[in-house]
């Protein structure tokens, strides 16, 4: 339990266990539901070494920590004695039901967005291919590939069933059976159905977002009830069938119509806003305010809204365009600072976070630059607002929830005007925010009130990021493609692999050798700022028992970046049947905001391969 002391301190400062009703987390923060917020010692919480900031609003009492929150929450649960779902209600079953539904919407949507974004990108690629004349839209090749896109959206309830059942601890196979049953020809959109004489409404479940969610939440409570009623000796045989034959009719009778009403209600709200104020106003406001909403922890509230739009309308008239414009405006704002700054360290920070935002990951920029300097929020409000205003007035719609690299998906079915207008809106957002940030300027460091990054070891002000050089010359290999689950899953930290082209391994940073395996196939180096780097040569090469490996250093030695530290005969390692890939990971990744690998296809020991964002 690496964060046990921190968790105990935080629990005490929010008012003790008795003041905590529930605790959940998102990507960077713990969300507390407190009985009495007034007794929480907010300023003292802000002073805790792992805390970036505290936000208290109608959403929750939120303690912003960083990506290590994923490791902190399980320890917090264990100390508080909470279950994995962390659900405690203040009063009444209805409130508990609604609270759980809202919570899992944001936590379960991430995995679902992956295939949907892939489908959107595929749609854009197919549109471009069709436009170029390489493949006809009526050809079998086109139809086969387009079947992927159609299947993702048609079988969305099945994807939802998998993700939400995992979040709630429901048997995912039973959840999928319910979803597939709802999608069957005999039920999906069928007319004139009845169950035991009770007439069922006509519901198209392939175009409905909420019924399957309500069904899975119901399955959770039904499972617990059956476990109390049915003798344990009979549960294995009878509980699954009872869950299915009870959940399905309840869904057909109640959750199907209710889910449809919820979806129609959301569409009505946005139709009303569009007809009254103009939908452009919502696009403009969200594109301008998204970084602020992310900061206060309210960025995920749009997920059920735009997912409902895709499920019922087939497109999103508001949020997809708005968030892409906002993301690129964040990139533009940080780039404005990059060109304005003359400080080398600042330029490194701004350049790294700008690239991250360009790739669609804005958290490093928001927490590393926006929270500190404040003025970039204004720059995005200007640039993002202008881009969003243009997109809204041009009635740009999104056909898939994709990022900047999925702009081709805005073509849809030969809607090229929609695509052109979106491109212009993105350019407006980027240039507008960049110019605004450049003009607004960078506050002097002594005027910045936000807490600086602090070294855990020294307590002194630390750098905002650390660059890690490649330990060997070779071809860049994504960590996820390394043939070792411990590394490819990032369980040992974020990093990358390098297919080596030479035998000598060099120190990637200035630091101390804190560990050296007796077989010389792996070495650990720690920098003065506490960054812990593991260099591991080959897969399963420990079995060579040191053969073909040589060390030039010993544990406790000080090394400088570029020093030769190890040598491995890569040819002999290959001949012995082992993969010689050189893996470099930051083993204490959770202590930092992010670890960004280089995108360069080839690297040498004089080039940076990792960026540790403090």
Neighbours of 541 (CB within 10 A): 25
Residue 26 bears catalytic tag: yes
CA dihedral 417, 410, 390, 433 (to 10 degrees): -130
Helix (H) or strand (E) holding 581: none
**One-character DSSP codes across 165-199:** HHHHT--HHHHHHHHHHHHSTTTTT-SS-EETTEE
DSSP structure string for 126-150:
HHHHHHHTSS-TTSHHHHHHHHHHH
Rounded to an integer, what distance in angstroms lies between the CA atom of residue 491 and that of residue 463?
Answer: 26
Q: Which of 361, 390, 369, 371 is nearest to 287 (CA)?
A: 390
Q: Which letter, b or e, does each residue of 563-576 get, where b requires 16 or more Cβ atoms within 10 Å of its Cβ?
A: bebbbbebeebeee
Q: Which residue reads 């926006």 in tokens?
A: 370
75 pairs with which residues across the strands?
none
Whose structure tokens read 């994504």? 478
CA distance linking residue 351 with residue 334, whole number of Å: 7
- Tokens encoding 426: 């993105």
Catalytic residue among 7, 26, 331, 609: 26
Give the Cα separation of 346 and 409 in Å (integer): 36
Cβ atoms within 10 Å, residue 447? 7
Provide the edge-to-edge strand list for the sheet that holds 582-586: 558-559, 511-516, 522-526, 532-537, 582-586, 494-500, 474-478, 602-603
Query: Residue 524 in contact with residue 534, Cβ under 8 Å?
Result: yes
**Pairing assessment for the beta strands 608-613 and 522-526 based on DSSP bridges:** unpaired
Residues carrying an active site annotation: 26
């Amino acid at each position: 339990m690496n964060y046990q002391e921190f968790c105990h301190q935080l629990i005490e400062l929010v008012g003790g266990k008795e003041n905590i009703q529930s605790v959940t987390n998102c990507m960077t923060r713990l969300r507390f539901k407190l009985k009495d917020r007034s007794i929480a010692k907010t300023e003292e919480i802000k002073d805790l070494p792992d805390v970036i900031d505290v936000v208290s609003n109608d959403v929750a009492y939120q303690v912003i920590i960083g990506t290590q929150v994923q490791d902190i929450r399980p320890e917090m649960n264990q100390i508080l004695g909470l279950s994995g779902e962390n659900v405690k209600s203040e009063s009444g079953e209805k409130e508990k039901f609604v609270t759980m539904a809202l919570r899992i919407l944001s936590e379960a949507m991430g995995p679902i967005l992956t295939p949907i974004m892939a489908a959107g990108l595929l749609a854009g690629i197919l549109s471009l291919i069709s436009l170029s004349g390489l493949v006809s839209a009526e050809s079998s090749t086109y139809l086969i590939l387009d079947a992927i896109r159609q299947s993702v959206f048609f079988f969305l309830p099945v994807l939802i069933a998998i993700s939400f059942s995992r979040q709630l601890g429901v048997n995912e196979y039973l959840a999928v059976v319910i979803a597939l049953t709802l999608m069957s020809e005999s039920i999906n959109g069928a007319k004139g159905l009845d169950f035991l004489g009770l007439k069922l409404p006509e519901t198209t479940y392939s175009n409905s977002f909420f019924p399957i969610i309500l069904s899975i939440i119901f399955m959770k409570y039904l499972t617990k009830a059956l476990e109390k009623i049915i003798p344990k000796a009979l549960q294995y045989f009878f509980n699954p069938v009872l869950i299915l034959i009870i959940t399905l009719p309840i869904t057909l009778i109640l959750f199907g119509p209710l889910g449809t009403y919820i979806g129609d209600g959301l569409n009505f709200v946005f139709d009303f806003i569009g007809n009254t104020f103009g939908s452009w106003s919502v696009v403009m406001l969200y594109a301008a305010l998204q970084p602020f909403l992310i900061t206060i922890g309210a960025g995920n509230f749009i997920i059920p809204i735009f997912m409902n739009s895709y499920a019922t309308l087939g497109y999103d008239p508001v949020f997809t365009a708005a968030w892409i414009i906002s993301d690129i405006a964040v990139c533009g704002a940080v780039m404005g600072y990059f060109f304005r700054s003359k400080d080398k360290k600042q330029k490194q920070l701004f350049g790294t976070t700008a690239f991250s935002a360009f790739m669609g990951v804005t958290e490093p920029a928001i927490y590393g630059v926006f929270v500190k300097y404040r003025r970039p929020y204004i720059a995005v409000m200007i640039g993002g607002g202008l881009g969003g205003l243009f997109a809204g007035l041009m009635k740009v719609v999104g056909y898939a929830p994709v990022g900047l690299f999925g702009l081709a998906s805005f073509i849809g079915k030969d809607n090229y005007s929609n695509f052109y207008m979106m491109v212009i809106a993105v350019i407006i957002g980027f240039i507008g925010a960049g110019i605004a940030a450049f003009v607004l300027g960078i506050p002097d460091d002594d005027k910045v009130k936000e807490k600086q990054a602090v070294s855990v070891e020294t307590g002194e002000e630390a750098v905002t990021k650390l660059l890690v050089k490649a330990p060997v010359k070779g071809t860049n290999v994504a960590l996820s493609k390394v043939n070792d689950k411990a590394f490819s899953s990032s369980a040992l930290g974020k990093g990358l692999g390098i297919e080596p082209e030479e035998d000598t391994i060099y120190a990637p940073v200035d630091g101390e050798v804190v560990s050296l395996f007796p077989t010389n196939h792996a070495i650990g180096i720690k920098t003065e700022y506490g960054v812990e780097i593991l260099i591991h040569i080959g897969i399963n090469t420990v079995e060579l028992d040191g053969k073909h490996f040589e060390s030039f250093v010993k544990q406790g030695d000080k090394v400088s970046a570029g020093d030769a530290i190890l040598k491995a005969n890569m040819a002999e390692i290959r001949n012995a049947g082992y993969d010689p890939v050189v893996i470099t990971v930051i083993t204490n990744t959770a202590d930092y905001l992010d670890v960004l690998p280089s995108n360069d296809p080839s690297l040498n020991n004089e080039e940076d391969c990792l960026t540790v964002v403090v």
